[in-house]
Amino acid sequence: MPKTTKISDTLRAEIKAYPETLYKLAKACDISLPVLSRFVKGERDLKLETVDKIAKTLNLKLIRK
């Protein structure tokens, strides 16, 4: 059985690969820096609305395999 990747793990990796600071990403997504920071550290989950904002800013799409 192929290994699956969680959406949250993929999102964390994309956030870490973002060429700007977390502050600039949070600002671009219109979310608070503490929310983004705690998510990246694995300390909390995100609301779906917040995931949508981040995905839109990072130009990410959810596709079915």
Percent of the chain with pLDDT over 90: 85
Using alpha carbons, select from 23, 17, 18, 49 the residue that is nearest to residue 36. 23
Amino acid at 9: D
Q: Which CATH architecture has domain 7-57?
A: Orthogonal Bundle (1.10)
What pLDDT does 2 receive? 55
Q: What is the pTM of this model?
A: 0.86
- Model confidence at 1, pLDDT cuts 50, 70, 90, reads very low
Q: 35-62: per-residue pLDDT in tens?
A: 999 999 999 999 999 999 999 999 999 8
What pLDDT does 63 receive? 85
Q: CA dist 55 to 1, 2, 3, Å?
A: 28, 25, 23
Q: For residue 14, what are its two tokens?
A: 């994309």
Lookup result for tokens 């600071």: 21
